[in-house]
Structure 1
Amino acid sequence: MAEERLQKILARAGLGSRRKCEDLIAAGRVTVNGVTVTEPGCRADMDTDAVCVDGAPVRREARMYLMLNKPAGCLTTAGGDPEGRGTVMQFVAHIPGRVFPVGRLDYDTEGLLLFTNDGEFAQKVIHPSHETIKTYEAVVRGRPSPQAMDMLRRGVMLDDGPTRPAAARITGERTVSAPVKQRGGPVEELVRGAVVELRVHEGRKRMVKRMLRKVGHPVLFLRRTAIGKLHIGNLPLGETQILGESERALIFENPE
């Protein structure tokens, strides 16, 4: 195994964020081959070097891969929220070791969210060069016309540039609870809208919502149903599932 920065090794072993691990090093609590190290720039090889914190050997953490069916009403962040809102980390608290979310889903969006402690895997999933396809199911106001659907398929111009062509189709209708503006403020009402399935390559902030609003059909409800060929299936909201090698491979396959 190649040499890596010490704080990266410690963070991957579940000893905290890289910043916290830098503090451990600066405090003189870390040794490499019996020698105390205080410089975060120090490098080590877990195959050949003995790394210890407070005298206890640091073990190489087993790689973890899992998916969560994220509920609406929680933030996608590996840290806390200054406003005290719930985060996705509450759903992986039972997982041994440290994992982090791969990419993000909006606060009010449901669906498939990956977690791992494998940085290279996470980068492969989210980096645009790998063109990982994400499938979303949106309930929108009204029913998009054939012209609106063609706009989605060709790509639409957003504030941060044009979107790439997307696979788009209407799969039915659904009634959902959505905020409706009233004189005294917004209230929740049942609204019936079309169900639009979108498959996109990009991961820009709130992109799916912005695309559908651009063609005149604001989103009432949104969930991510698949990444590549890995589908959320019948996994209950708030539940996690460990992913084996064959399931992880599905992430990088194009859905039919």
Structure 2
Amino acid sequence: MSNLERLQKVIAQSGVTSRRKAEKLIEDGKVKVNGKVVTELGTKVSPNDKVEVNGIQLEKELPVYYMFYKPRGVISSLSDDKGRKVVTDFFPEIDERIFPIGRLDYDTSGILLLTNDGNFANLLMHPKHGVEKVYVAKIKGIPSKTELARLLKGVKDKGEVLKAIRYNILSVDRKKGTMILELTLQEGKNRHVRRMMEQLGYPVLKLKREKYGLLTLDGMRVGEHRPLTPKEVKQMRNHATD
């Protein structure tokens, strides 16, 4: 079996950038293979080829996969120009160049996956694969069943349709005027849950992602991380492609 891979795929797998951006870098003449500039998108390379992006050689790392219980008040990024804490600050012992798969808002806690495998990240994030994510939201106000049904049909915000595929009322505090909702999404648009609930008129007071595909936070504390087992990685791949 051939071990040749498309150049843009190899760049994306290294975690340097997305496949789409890798294609642009190739077309712009920013990529070299064995010292020669390559601008052809169909180019294939072997593991022995030396690939450089913007003059920096890609390092061949073994793929790693981590689950992180992100606290509130942490940026889902590799750096922050305001000096705030970022997710990779919690991985000082990791040598590999890992990056978050998708993101969780600054004020949202819960499951976040990190890896250096761009293919795996793209697989889980692609909307067509519909990997389910379960959130628990504490909201201000007590919506009716009719109002909550709108979540399943979708609500519009800034030209986007935001919806949940399931919801479950966990508790209602009539004295404080709050409700705790479990929401299952197949998409992950920016501030999806918060924007969706704001459009209904019930702002989110607290938000946590409790499940990502088959993965849960069982046995983990806020700020902790652990490697995914090979079985979990395989299950997540299969779950995304089913």
TM-score (norm. length: structure 2): 0.76
Once residues 131 and 58 of structure 1 are traced to their aligned partners in structure 2, the CA distance between those partners, rounded to angstroms, is: 31
List structure 1 runs of 4+ shifted beyond 6 angstroms.
16-19
1:216 has 2:201 as partner: yes
Match of 1:81 in 2: 80
Partners of 1:155 and 1:166 within 8 A in 2: no
Partner SS state of residue 121, structure 1: helix
Match of 2:119 in 1: 120
Partners of 1:156 and 1:163 within 8 A in 2: yes
Letter of the 1:68 counterpart: F
Partners of 2:13 and 2:118 within 8 A in 1: no
1:207 has 2:209 as partner: no
Structure 2: which 5+ residue stretches go unaligned?
none
Decide which structure has greater helix share.
2
Match of 2:4 in 1: 2
Distance change in 2, residues 1:163/1:44 (3 Å): closer
Match of 1:186 in 2: none
Distance change in 2, residues 1:17/1:148 (3 Å): closer
Match of 2:156 in 1: 157
State the superposition RMSD in angstroms.
3.3
Partners of 1:141 and 1:218 within 8 A in 2: yes
CA deviation digits over 1:2-46, x for unaligned, max 9?
24549955982x8x7799xx9xxx9xxx994xxxx2637597744
Q: Percent identity?
A: 32
**Range with bigger deviation, 230-239 or 1-10:** 1-10
Letter of the 2:181 counterpart: V
Partner SS state of residue 103, structure 2: coil
Letter of the 1:65 counterpart: Y
Once residues 224 and 135 of structure 1 are traced to their aligned partners in structure 2, the CA distance between those partners, rounded to angstroms, is: 6
Once residues 91 and 140 of structure 1 are traced to their aligned partners in structure 2, the CA distance between those partners, rounded to angstroms, is: 29
Once residues 6 and 101 of structure 2 are traced to their aligned partners in structure 1, the CA distance between those partners, rounded to angstroms, is: 22
1:168 has 2:164 as partner: no
Once residues 203 and 6 of structure 1 are traced to their aligned partners in structure 2, the CA distance between those partners, rounded to angstroms, is: 25
1:105 has 2:90 as partner: no
Letter of the 2:136 counterpart: E
**Range with bigger deviation, 151-160 or 92-101:** 151-160
Match of 2:182 in 1: 197
Per-residue deviation at 1:125? 0.5
TM-score (norm. length: structure 1): 0.73
CA deviation digits over 1:104-139, x for unaligned, max 9?
111111010011111111001001111111111100
Once residues 126 and 17 of structure 2 are traced to their aligned partners in structure 1, the CA distance between those partners, rounded to angstroms, is: 22
Aligned pairs, number: 219
Matched ranges for 1:139-158 at <5 A: 139-158=138-157
Once residues 118 and 108 of structure 1 are traced to their aligned partners in structure 2, the CA distance between those partners, rounded to angstroms, is: 26
Larger radius of gyration: 1
Per-residue deviation at 1:59? 6.5
